[in-house]
A and B are shown apart, each in its own frame.
Chain A
Amino acid sequence: MERLEWGPWGVRAFTADGRVYPADRAVVALPLGVLKAEGVRFVPELPEEKRQAIERLGLTDAVKLFFRFDRPVFPPGIVELYAPGAALEECWSNPLGHSKGIEVLTALATGEKARALMALPEERALREALQALQQALGQPSLTPSKARLVHWRDDPYTLGAYSMARVGASEARQVLAKPVGNRLFFAGEHTAPNAWASTVHGAYASGKRAAHEAIRSAYREAPLGPRRGLRPSLPPPLPDGRPAA
C-alpha cells in the first residue's frame, strides 16, 4: 500500500499496482520503521502530535547472529550466557539441539555493537562476533560449522528491529496508540504500553485494543447506535475520475 486516504466519509487504501480498497475504517498495523520513513503516505497527513511521536520514539539497532556447532558448547543444564560489557553480551542455545548432539547458539548485539557489525561486510562481522563469543565463553578455539546474521534495518517492509523508548519519548507510544478521527486505529509493538512494547505480546494485545476501538466507533455510528447512522459526507472522487464507491 502506498497511500491511505481518510476523512469523515471513511478510508481508502491505494496499492502500488493501482488497486483501491475502500472501507469504513482502518487499523494501521505498520511497523514503526515504515512510519518513520513515510513508506505509506497518509492523506490528509496524520496530526502533528502523532508525527512528532513517530519521530521521537527510537528504533533499536539490533543484529541477531546464529552459529551452528557440531557438538554442545554450554555445560549440561545451561542454555544462556550473559557477559555484561563484553563485545557480545547475550547468547543462548536452542535446547532442541542438545538432544541431537549439536549446538545452535543465537547472539544478540544492539546499540553501538550492532551499528559496528552492520557497518562491516557480513563475513567480517561474523568473524568478529565469533571472536567475541569465544572470549565470552573462554573457549578460544570454538569453531562453528555454519554462521549467519540477520538484522531488519534494510528490509523494505520493516526498516528497523523494534521500538525503543529514548530519553524524552516515554509518552510517545501512548500518543501513537491514539485513534484519529474515528477512522484510523493504530496497532503494533510501538503502540503498546512501555512495559509491553517491543515484544510479540505487546503487538498482539495492541491489535486487540485497536480492533475494539474500531468496533466501538462503528457501533456509535451504526444505524441503530447512539448517533443513528450519521455518515457526514461522501468520499472525494478517485484521481482517474472513477466514481468513489
Chain B
Amino acid sequence: MKTLVIGAGIAGLSAAQELRKANHQVILLEARSRVGGRIHTDRSFAEVPIELGAEFIHSSQVPTYSLAQKLGLRTFHYNQHNDTLVRLPDGALRTIAEVGTQKQGYDNVRLVDWPEVNGEESLEAYLERLGERPIPFKLQEYISDFDHPRYLSAKAAREYLCDPSAEEGDYRLLDGYD
C-alpha cells in the first residue's frame, strides 16, 4: 500500500509516522530544504533559541505535552497566574493572580458559565450579550492571538473556552521546538 504525504510540517510528519506503523509505503514530499514547516527554531539571534513560528505547548492536556515528556525534553511552565503581568487601564502592572482575586473570573475560564451562541454571531456580539463582566485571560489571549472580536466566530471561540486546554498556562520547549 503506497501513500503520499504532501508537506513535512508536524501534520505531515505525524501522518507519515502512523502510516509507517501500519506498514504503508510512504513517500513524503516537502518543498523546502528542511522539515517542520511553521515550526522553525532560530539559534543565531541570541544566546537562547527563539521560535520564528510555533512556540508553546498549550497546556498539559494536549498530545504534544505527552510527546515532549516521552522524549525527555526540557520544558518551562508559564503558569499565566502569578508569573504574568497585566497592564491595567491606569497603567499599573499587576499579576493575573492579583487582578484575578479583585475581579473574579479574570484568570479562570471555568468560573464563567458560557451561554449558548446564537447561530453564526460574532464574538463581539456575543460578549455584548454577556454584558459587563470581566473577560478571562484565556479569552483575552484568544482575541490577541487572532483578530478583533467583530471578525471572530463566537461559536468557535466558545468551543475553545470549553476545552481543557484553555484551563492552564503554556509550556515552552527550552531547547527549541525543532
Contact = CB atoms under 8 A, between A and B. Distances in A.
B54 A29 contact: no
A130 interface: no
Interface string B135-160: 00100110011111011111111011
B129 interface: no
B46 A27 contact: no
Interface stretch (A43-51, A78-86, A118-126, A233-241): A78-86
A23 B10 contact: no
From DSSP, what is the main secondary structure of chain A's interface residues? mixed
A89 B15 CA distance: 35
Contacts of B111: none
B48 to A, nearest CB: 4
A52 interface: no
A30 B6 contact: yes
Interface residues of B, number: 87
Interface residues of A, number: 94
Contact of A29 (B12, B63, B85): B12
A212 B16 CA distance: 11
A211 to B, nearest CB: 3
20 contacts: A1-B29, A13-B29, A24-B1, A25-B2, A80-B83, A81-B87, A90-B141, A90-B145, A94-B48, A148-B45, A157-B31, A157-B37, A164-B146, A170-B159, A187-B12, A194-B159, A199-B58, A205-B63, A207-B15, A215-B19
Interface of B: 1-19, 22, 24, 27, 29, 31-32, 37-39, 45-55, 57-58, 62-65, 67, 76, 78, 80, 82-87, 91, 93, 95-96, 120-122, 137, 140-141, 144-148, 150-157, 159-160, 162-163, 165-166, 172, 174, 177
